Structure 1
Amino acid sequence: MTLTIRPRREEDIPDLANVLVRVHALDGYPVEGVADPEAWLRHPNELQSWTATEDEKPIGQVTLTRATPEDDAARTWHELTGGDVARLAIPVRLFVDPEHRGGGAGRLLMESAAGYAQARGLAIAFDVMLKDRAAIRLYERLGAQRVADLVHQYGEGLAEPAAVYVVGG
Protein backbone atom coordinates (compact mmCIF):
# COMPACT_ATOMS: atom_id res chain seq x y z
CA MET A 1 0.00 0.00 0.00
CA THR A 2 1.14 3.51 -0.78
CA LEU A 3 0.79 6.13 1.96
CA THR A 4 0.54 9.71 0.68
CA ILE A 5 -0.01 13.04 2.41
CA ARG A 6 -1.53 15.79 0.28
CA PRO A 7 -3.65 18.91 0.74
CA ARG A 8 -7.21 17.93 1.61
CA ARG A 9 -9.73 18.21 -1.20
CA GLU A 10 -13.44 18.87 -0.91
CA GLU A 11 -14.16 15.41 -2.34
CA ASP A 12 -12.23 13.87 0.61
CA ILE A 13 -14.75 15.19 3.15
CA PRO A 14 -17.39 12.39 2.91
CA ASP A 15 -14.77 9.62 3.27
CA LEU A 16 -13.04 11.46 6.12
CA ALA A 17 -16.40 12.00 7.86
CA ASN A 18 -16.98 8.24 7.77
CA VAL A 19 -13.50 7.64 9.21
CA LEU A 20 -14.19 10.20 11.93
CA VAL A 21 -17.37 8.39 12.97
CA ARG A 22 -15.33 5.15 13.35
CA VAL A 23 -12.62 6.98 15.31
CA HIS A 24 -15.21 8.49 17.64
CA ALA A 25 -16.84 5.10 18.23
CA LEU A 26 -13.48 3.59 19.21
CA ASP A 27 -11.66 6.48 20.93
CA GLY A 28 -14.32 9.01 21.96
CA TYR A 29 -12.58 11.60 19.74
CA PRO A 30 -13.70 14.28 19.46
CA VAL A 31 -15.17 14.57 22.94
CA GLU A 32 -17.83 16.92 21.58
CA GLY A 33 -19.18 14.11 19.40
CA VAL A 34 -19.80 13.78 15.68
CA ALA A 35 -23.41 14.81 15.13
CA ASP A 36 -22.36 16.50 11.85
CA PRO A 37 -18.91 15.13 10.98
CA GLU A 38 -18.64 16.92 7.63
CA ALA A 39 -19.31 20.30 9.25
CA TRP A 40 -16.83 19.50 12.05
CA LEU A 41 -14.10 18.89 9.48
CA ARG A 42 -14.60 22.36 7.99
CA HIS A 43 -12.91 24.48 10.66
CA PRO A 44 -13.77 28.20 10.43
CA ASN A 45 -10.15 29.30 11.08
CA GLU A 46 -8.51 26.83 8.70
CA LEU A 47 -5.14 27.75 7.23
CA GLN A 48 -4.66 24.40 5.47
CA SER A 49 -5.78 20.79 5.84
CA TRP A 50 -4.02 17.62 4.73
CA THR A 51 -5.35 14.18 3.92
CA ALA A 52 -3.50 10.91 4.43
CA THR A 53 -4.37 8.39 1.75
CA GLU A 54 -3.54 4.76 1.25
CA ASP A 55 -3.84 3.79 -2.39
CA GLU A 56 -5.77 7.04 -2.99
CA LYS A 57 -8.36 6.32 -0.26
CA PRO A 58 -8.57 8.95 2.52
CA ILE A 59 -7.61 7.39 5.86
CA GLY A 60 -6.90 10.42 8.04
CA GLN A 61 -6.40 14.14 8.21
CA VAL A 62 -5.16 17.17 10.12
CA THR A 63 -6.14 20.84 9.94
CA LEU A 64 -3.88 23.74 10.82
CA THR A 65 -5.81 26.76 12.11
CA ARG A 66 -5.19 30.40 12.92
CA ALA A 67 -5.21 30.82 16.68
CA THR A 68 -7.72 33.07 18.37
CA PRO A 69 -7.48 34.54 21.88
CA GLU A 70 -10.36 32.23 22.91
CA ASP A 71 -8.37 29.04 22.18
CA ASP A 72 -7.21 27.28 25.35
CA ALA A 73 -3.82 26.55 23.79
CA ALA A 74 -3.44 30.13 22.52
CA ARG A 75 -4.22 31.65 25.91
CA THR A 76 -1.77 29.34 27.62
CA TRP A 77 0.93 29.93 24.99
CA HIS A 78 0.49 33.70 25.26
CA GLU A 79 0.68 33.58 29.08
CA LEU A 80 3.90 31.55 28.91
CA THR A 81 5.65 33.39 26.09
CA GLY A 82 4.02 36.81 25.80
CA GLY A 83 3.89 36.06 22.07
CA ASP A 84 1.38 37.55 19.66
CA VAL A 85 -1.47 35.07 19.13
CA ALA A 86 -1.62 36.25 15.50
CA ARG A 87 1.73 34.45 15.01
CA LEU A 88 0.42 31.14 16.40
CA ALA A 89 -0.98 28.18 14.49
CA ILE A 90 -2.90 25.32 16.09
CA PRO A 91 -3.07 21.83 14.58
CA VAL A 92 -6.52 20.33 15.17
CA ARG A 93 -8.76 17.52 13.96
CA LEU A 94 -5.95 15.00 13.63
CA PHE A 95 -7.18 11.45 13.26
CA VAL A 96 -6.32 8.24 11.43
CA ASP A 97 -8.64 5.35 10.62
CA PRO A 98 -8.23 2.70 13.34
CA GLU A 99 -7.60 0.06 10.63
CA HIS A 100 -4.65 2.08 9.28
CA ARG A 101 -2.84 3.11 12.44
CA GLY A 102 0.81 2.32 13.02
CA GLY A 103 1.87 3.04 9.45
CA GLY A 104 3.13 6.56 10.02
CA ALA A 105 0.13 8.55 8.77
CA GLY A 106 -0.31 10.51 12.01
CA ARG A 107 3.38 11.42 12.11
CA LEU A 108 3.41 12.52 8.47
CA LEU A 109 0.24 14.58 8.91
CA MET A 110 1.70 16.42 11.93
CA GLU A 111 5.00 16.95 10.12
CA SER A 112 3.10 18.48 7.17
CA ALA A 113 1.24 20.87 9.46
CA ALA A 114 4.39 21.79 11.40
CA GLY A 115 6.39 22.35 8.22
CA TYR A 116 3.70 24.62 6.79
CA ALA A 117 3.57 26.69 9.98
CA GLN A 118 7.31 26.92 10.40
CA ALA A 119 7.81 27.97 6.75
CA ARG A 120 5.52 30.91 7.49
CA GLY A 121 7.20 31.87 10.75
CA LEU A 122 4.29 30.68 12.89
CA ALA A 123 4.69 29.17 16.34
CA ILE A 124 2.72 25.99 17.06
CA ALA A 125 0.74 25.12 20.18
CA PHE A 126 -2.22 22.83 20.76
CA ASP A 127 -4.13 21.02 23.44
CA VAL A 128 -4.84 17.33 23.71
CA MET A 129 -7.16 15.44 26.03
CA LEU A 130 -5.20 13.35 28.54
CA LYS A 131 -7.35 10.33 27.69
CA ASP A 132 -5.85 10.34 24.17
CA ARG A 133 -2.65 8.58 25.21
CA ALA A 134 -1.67 7.40 21.71
CA ALA A 135 -1.86 10.97 20.41
CA ILE A 136 0.26 12.19 23.32
CA ARG A 137 2.89 9.52 22.58
CA LEU A 138 2.95 10.65 18.93
CA TYR A 139 3.34 14.33 19.84
CA GLU A 140 6.12 13.61 22.31
CA ARG A 141 7.95 11.39 19.79
CA LEU A 142 7.79 14.36 17.39
CA GLY A 143 9.43 16.59 20.01
CA ALA A 144 6.39 18.52 21.25
CA GLN A 145 6.84 19.77 24.81
CA ARG A 146 4.08 19.68 27.41
CA VAL A 147 3.91 23.14 28.95
CA ALA A 148 0.66 23.19 30.94
CA ASP A 149 -2.34 21.23 32.13
CA LEU A 150 -5.89 22.52 31.89
CA VAL A 151 -9.49 21.39 31.79
CA HIS A 152 -11.24 21.51 28.42
CA GLN A 153 -14.82 22.73 28.90
CA TYR A 154 -17.40 21.67 26.33
CA GLY A 155 -21.09 21.01 25.91
CA GLU A 156 -23.33 21.83 28.83
CA GLY A 157 -21.09 21.65 31.87
CA LEU A 158 -18.86 18.85 30.56
CA ALA A 159 -15.12 18.87 31.14
CA GLU A 160 -12.10 16.80 30.15
CA PRO A 161 -8.54 17.02 31.55
CA ALA A 162 -6.11 18.18 28.87
CA ALA A 163 -2.54 19.34 28.33
CA VAL A 164 -1.07 22.09 26.19
CA TYR A 165 1.90 21.26 23.98
CA VAL A 166 4.24 23.46 21.96
CA VAL A 167 6.39 22.48 19.02
CA GLY A 168 9.86 23.94 18.80
CA GLY A 169 10.38 26.25 21.74
Structure 2
Amino acid sequence: MGLTIRPRRDDDLPALAAVLVRVHDLDGYPVEGVADPEGWLRHDHELQSWTAIEDGVPIGQVTLTRAAAGDDAARAWQDHGCGSIDRLAIPVRLFVDPDHRGSGAGRLLMEAALDYARTRGLAIAFDVMLKDQAAIRLYERLGAVRIADVTHRYGNGSAEPASVYALRS
Protein backbone atom coordinates (compact mmCIF):
# COMPACT_ATOMS: atom_id res chain seq x y z
CA MET A 1 0.00 0.00 0.00
CA GLY A 2 2.82 2.45 0.81
CA LEU A 3 2.72 5.98 2.14
CA THR A 4 -0.29 8.18 1.42
CA ILE A 5 -1.56 11.53 2.67
CA ARG A 6 -5.27 12.18 3.07
CA PRO A 7 -7.55 14.49 5.05
CA ARG A 8 -7.62 13.45 8.70
CA ARG A 9 -10.73 11.64 9.92
CA ASP A 10 -12.05 11.40 13.46
CA ASP A 11 -11.31 7.67 13.51
CA ASP A 12 -7.60 8.51 12.99
CA LEU A 13 -7.41 10.34 16.33
CA PRO A 14 -6.82 7.38 18.69
CA ALA A 15 -3.89 6.08 16.63
CA LEU A 16 -2.48 9.58 16.14
CA ALA A 17 -2.78 10.26 19.87
CA ALA A 18 -0.71 7.14 20.58
CA VAL A 19 1.91 8.29 18.04
CA LEU A 20 1.97 11.74 19.63
CA VAL A 21 2.74 10.26 23.04
CA ARG A 22 5.65 8.28 21.53
CA VAL A 23 6.97 11.42 19.82
CA HIS A 24 6.73 13.33 23.10
CA ASP A 25 8.57 10.60 25.00
CA LEU A 26 11.41 10.68 22.46
CA ASP A 27 11.64 14.37 21.51
CA GLY A 28 9.78 16.38 24.12
CA TYR A 29 7.36 17.51 21.40
CA PRO A 30 4.86 18.84 22.05
CA VAL A 31 5.85 20.67 25.20
CA GLU A 32 2.20 20.53 26.26
CA GLY A 33 -0.86 18.55 25.26
CA VAL A 34 0.08 14.95 25.97
CA ALA A 35 -2.17 14.77 29.02
CA ASP A 36 -5.06 14.88 26.51
CA PRO A 37 -3.51 14.04 23.14
CA GLU A 38 -6.78 13.68 21.23
CA GLY A 39 -7.95 17.03 22.56
CA TRP A 40 -4.61 18.61 21.62
CA LEU A 41 -4.98 17.35 18.05
CA ARG A 42 -8.26 19.24 17.67
CA HIS A 43 -7.63 22.95 17.05
CA ASP A 44 -10.21 25.74 17.39
CA HIS A 45 -8.97 27.53 14.26
CA GLU A 46 -8.53 24.44 12.06
CA LEU A 47 -8.87 24.90 8.33
CA GLN A 48 -7.91 21.31 7.47
CA SER A 49 -5.87 18.45 8.92
CA TRP A 50 -4.09 15.62 7.09
CA THR A 51 -2.97 12.17 8.13
CA ALA A 52 0.01 10.26 6.81
CA ILE A 53 -0.93 6.61 6.33
CA GLU A 54 1.61 3.82 5.94
CA ASP A 55 0.17 0.42 5.03
CA GLY A 56 -3.24 1.45 6.38
CA VAL A 57 -1.92 2.80 9.73
CA PRO A 58 -1.85 6.50 10.73
CA ILE A 59 1.79 7.49 11.32
CA GLY A 60 1.65 11.29 11.44
CA GLN A 61 -0.35 14.41 10.87
CA VAL A 62 -0.41 18.17 10.35
CA THR A 63 -3.12 20.78 10.89
CA LEU A 64 -3.46 24.05 9.01
CA THR A 65 -5.09 26.84 11.04
CA ARG A 66 -6.37 30.35 10.51
CA ALA A 67 -4.02 32.90 12.05
CA ALA A 68 -5.19 34.65 15.20
CA ALA A 69 -3.84 37.93 16.54
CA GLY A 70 -2.30 36.23 19.60
CA ASP A 71 -0.25 33.71 17.61
CA ASP A 72 3.53 34.21 17.79
CA ALA A 73 3.74 33.64 14.05
CA ALA A 74 0.98 36.16 13.30
CA ARG A 75 2.62 38.86 15.44
CA ALA A 76 6.00 38.27 13.81
CA TRP A 77 4.35 38.28 10.37
CA GLN A 78 2.86 41.71 11.00
CA ASP A 79 5.97 43.07 12.74
CA HIS A 80 8.08 41.97 9.78
CA GLY A 81 5.81 43.93 7.42
CA CYS A 82 4.55 40.85 5.60
CA GLY A 83 0.93 42.01 5.53
CA SER A 84 -2.40 41.39 7.17
CA ILE A 85 -3.01 38.19 9.08
CA ASP A 86 -6.40 37.90 7.38
CA ARG A 87 -4.73 35.95 4.56
CA LEU A 88 -2.29 34.03 6.77
CA ALA A 89 -2.45 30.32 7.58
CA ILE A 90 -0.35 28.56 10.21
CA PRO A 91 0.61 24.87 10.01
CA VAL A 92 0.69 23.30 13.48
CA ARG A 93 0.83 19.92 15.19
CA LEU A 94 3.14 18.30 12.65
CA PHE A 95 4.62 15.01 13.79
CA VAL A 96 5.63 11.62 12.43
CA ASP A 97 6.01 8.34 14.29
CA PRO A 98 9.68 7.88 15.23
CA ASP A 99 9.66 4.47 13.51
CA HIS A 100 8.71 6.14 10.20
CA ARG A 101 11.05 9.11 10.15
CA GLY A 102 12.99 9.43 6.95
CA SER A 103 10.03 8.07 4.97
CA GLY A 104 9.15 11.49 3.56
CA ALA A 105 5.91 11.65 5.55
CA GLY A 106 6.76 14.99 7.20
CA ARG A 107 7.57 16.61 3.87
CA LEU A 108 4.42 15.23 2.24
CA LEU A 109 2.25 16.41 5.13
CA MET A 110 3.71 19.92 4.93
CA GLU A 111 3.31 19.95 1.14
CA ALA A 112 -0.39 19.05 1.54
CA ALA A 113 -0.87 21.98 3.93
CA LEU A 114 1.12 24.34 1.71
CA ASP A 115 -0.80 23.32 -1.43
CA TYR A 116 -4.12 23.84 0.36
CA ALA A 117 -3.08 27.32 1.52
CA ARG A 118 -1.62 28.37 -1.81
CA THR A 119 -4.71 27.32 -3.80
CA ARG A 120 -6.70 29.63 -1.51
CA GLY A 121 -4.28 32.55 -1.79
CA LEU A 122 -3.07 32.21 1.79
CA ALA A 123 0.46 32.96 2.94
CA ILE A 124 2.14 30.66 5.47
CA ALA A 125 3.99 31.45 8.69
CA PHE A 126 4.68 29.29 11.72
CA ASP A 127 6.86 29.08 14.77
CA VAL A 128 9.18 26.23 15.67
CA MET A 129 11.16 25.70 18.84
CA LEU A 130 14.91 25.87 18.31
CA LYS A 131 15.34 22.48 20.01
CA ASP A 132 13.42 20.88 17.10
CA GLN A 133 16.30 20.92 14.61
CA ALA A 134 14.94 18.15 12.36
CA ALA A 135 11.76 20.18 11.84
CA ILE A 136 13.79 23.32 11.09
CA ARG A 137 15.81 21.44 8.46
CA LEU A 138 12.57 20.23 6.83
CA TYR A 139 11.08 23.72 6.75
CA GLU A 140 14.23 25.23 5.27
CA ARG A 141 14.31 22.52 2.57
CA LEU A 142 10.74 23.53 1.70
CA GLY A 143 11.90 27.13 1.22
CA ALA A 144 10.84 28.64 4.54
CA VAL A 145 12.76 31.73 5.64
CA ARG A 146 13.28 32.73 9.27
CA ILE A 147 11.72 36.14 9.89
CA ALA A 148 11.91 36.45 13.68
CA ASP A 149 13.09 34.94 16.92
CA VAL A 150 10.49 34.62 19.67
CA THR A 151 10.00 32.98 23.02
CA HIS A 152 7.24 30.36 23.08
CA ARG A 153 5.49 30.59 26.45
CA TYR A 154 3.41 27.71 27.74
CA GLY A 155 2.14 25.99 30.86
CA ASN A 156 2.82 27.62 34.21
CA GLY A 157 5.46 30.12 33.17
CA SER A 158 7.59 27.79 31.05
CA ALA A 159 9.35 29.21 28.02
CA GLU A 160 11.30 27.88 25.05
CA PRO A 161 13.29 29.82 22.42
CA ALA A 162 11.71 29.60 18.99
CA SER A 163 11.86 31.12 15.52
CA VAL A 164 9.12 32.16 13.15
CA TYR A 165 9.43 31.02 9.54
CA ALA A 166 7.45 32.21 6.52
CA LEU A 167 6.59 30.91 3.08
CA ARG A 168 5.01 33.19 0.51
CA SER A 169 2.32 31.83 -1.77
Relative distance call for 1:82 and 1:166 in structure 2 (3 A) is closer
Matches within 5 A, 1:10-49: 10-49=10-49
Offset of residue 81 of structure 1:
2.1
For 1:94, give the aligned amino acid: L
Aligned residue number for residue 114 of structure 1: 114
User: If the length of structure 1 is used for normalisation, what is the TM-score?
Assistant: 0.98
For 2:66, give the aligned amino acid: R
Offset of residue 89 of structure 1:
0.2
Q: What SS is found at the alignment partner of 1:139?
A: helix
| More off after superposition, 30-39 vs 55-64 | 30-39
Offset of residue 36 of structure 1:
0.1
C-alpha separation in 2, matches of 1:86 and 1:160: 27
Aligned residue number for residue 95 of structure 2: 95
For 1:66, give the aligned amino acid: R
1:54-107, Cα deviation, whole Å (9 max, x unpaired): 011000000000000000000110111251111100000000000000010000
Matches within 5 A, 1:152-167: 152-167=152-167
Gaps of 5+ in 2: none
Do the aligned partners of 1:143 and 1:167 also contact (CA within 8 Å) in 2? yes
Aligned residue number for residue 60 of structure 1: 60
For 1:90, give the aligned amino acid: I
Do the aligned partners of 1:143 and 1:168 also contact (CA within 8 Å) in 2? no
Kindly report the root-mean-square deviation, in angstroms, between the aligned alpha carbons of the 2 structures: 1.0
Do the aligned partners of 2:129 and 2:161 also contact (CA within 8 Å) in 1? yes
Q: What SS is found at the alignment partner of 1:143?
A: coil
Aligned residue number for residue 3 of structure 1: 3
Aligned residue number for residue 144 of structure 2: 144
For these two proteins, the number of residue pairs brought into alignment is 169
For 1:64, give the aligned amino acid: L
For 2:86, give the aligned amino acid: A
User: If the length of structure 2 is used for normalisation, what is the TM-score?
Assistant: 0.98
For 2:150, give the aligned amino acid: L
The yes-or-no answer on 1:133 pairing with 2:133 is: yes
C-alpha separation in 2, matches of 1:152 and 1:82: 21
Offset of residue 168 of structure 1:
2.5
C-alpha separation in 2, matches of 1:128 and 1:82: 18
Return structure 1 stretches of 4+ with deviation > 3 angstroms.
none
Q: What SS is found at the alignment partner of 1:44?
A: coil
C-alpha separation in 2, matches of 1:164 and 1:102: 24
Do the aligned partners of 1:24 and 1:33 also contact (CA within 8 Å) in 2? no
For 1:135, give the aligned amino acid: A
C-alpha separation in 2, matches of 1:118 and 1:81: 20
1:95-130, Cα deviation, whole Å (9 max, x unpaired): 000000001000000000000001000010000000
